[in-house]
């Protein structure tokens, strides 16, 4: 069955993809009634046309090229001169980059892994608190304005981190130790922990290393596609 590429400029038709008020359009790839992927284009309103439009890509490797070609057309018509998007490197093949004429830019984040039985955990104090878990997560722990959301599934604990202030390595190490201790105590079948860290977040990198996390080859980068007339 052929894949159909369709562009929606009316947000109400695809609100599951275009809930953001900055959404310019949504491009979908379908095979019959099955959606294979999508690209949501956001107009950030920047004066610099190279920075104005970004794409949020959710696609299989087979649909990246047709989806991004159509997205590039829409972005060009909207006055953009470069289309940018972030994706993990295993989601965008070298062939797709060549077909699109796109280039790989700077690293955005990288995944780190920890063998839980070998973790170098530390004692934690009462400042670490348990917070209501988000939908789909197993638990959430916080310290000051820093939080870790944790999902434990099939022997792996996946950690997602957020904070507003820089904080200190000691604070993040204490919070991360509490997370690892809770996983090991309440989910003994879990053998691996994984977390992704912003490429520029040296504080989080140091805390991860303190507990024994190591960086992996899995990473995300920002891709750039020049929009030629």
- Non-local CB neighbours of 158 within 8 Å, separated by 6+ positions: 150, 151, 152, 193, 194, 195
CATH topology of domain 111-218: Aminopeptidase (3.40.630)
Tens of pLDDT, residues 77-93: 999 999 999 999 999 99
Q: What are the sequence ranges of the domains in the chain? A: 4-101, 111-218
- One digit per residue, the tens of pLDDT, for the chain of length 229 reads 588 999 988 776 666 767 778 888 999 999 888 889 999 999 999 999 999 999 999 998 889 999 999 999 999 999 999 999 999 999 999 999 999 999 999 999 999 999 999 898 887 888 999 999 988 899 999 999 999 999 999 999 999 999 998 889 999 999 999 999 999 999 999 999 999 999 999 999 999 999 999 999 999 999 999 997 6
What is the structure's pLDDT at 96?
94
Tens of pLDDT, residues 33-47: 888 999 999 999 999
- Non-local CB neighbours of 106 within 8 Å, separated by 6+ positions: 199, 221, 222
**4-101 and 111-218: same fold?**
yes
The verdict on pTM exceeding 0.85 is: yes
Q: What angle do CA 209, 214, 215 make, to 5 degrees?
A: 115
Sheet containing strand 23-31, strands side by side: 4-8, 23-31, 34-43, 53-59, 82-88, 214-226, 103-115, 192-198, 156-162, 146-153, 139-143, 129-131
Four-way CATH pick for 4-101: 3.30.230.10, 3.90.1150.10, 3.40.630.30, 1.10.150.120 = 3.40.630.30
User: Length of the chain, please?
Assistant: 229
């Amino acid at each position: 069955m052929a894949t159909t590429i369709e562009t929606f400029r009316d947000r109400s038709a695809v609100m599951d993809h275009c809930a953001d008020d900055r959404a310019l359009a949504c491009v979908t790839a379908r095979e019959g009634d099955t959606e294979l992927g999508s690209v949501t284009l956001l107009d950030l309103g920047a004066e610099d046309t190279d920075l104005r439009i970004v794409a949020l890509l959710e696609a299989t490797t087979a649909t990246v090229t047709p989806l991004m070609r159509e997205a590039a057309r829409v972005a060009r018509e909207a006055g953009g001169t470069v289309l940018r998007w972030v994706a993990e490197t295993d989601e965008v093949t070298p062939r797709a980059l060549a077909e699109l004429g796109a280039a790989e830019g700077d690293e955005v984040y990288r995944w780190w892994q920890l063998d839980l039985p070998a973790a170098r955990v530390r004692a934690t104090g009462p400042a670490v608190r348990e917070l209501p878990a988000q939908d789909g997560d197993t638990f959430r722990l916080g310290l000051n304005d820093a939080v870790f959301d944790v999902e434990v599934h099939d022997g792996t604990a996946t950690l997602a981190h957020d904070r507003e202030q820089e904080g200190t390595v000691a604070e993040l190490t204490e919070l991360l130790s509490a997370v690892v201790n809770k996983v090991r105590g309440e989910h003994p079948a879990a053998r691996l922990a994984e977390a992704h860290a912003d490429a520029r977040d040296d504080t989080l990198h140091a805390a991860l290393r303190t507990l024994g996390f190591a960086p992996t080859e899995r990473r995300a980068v920002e891709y750039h596609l020049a929009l030629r007339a």
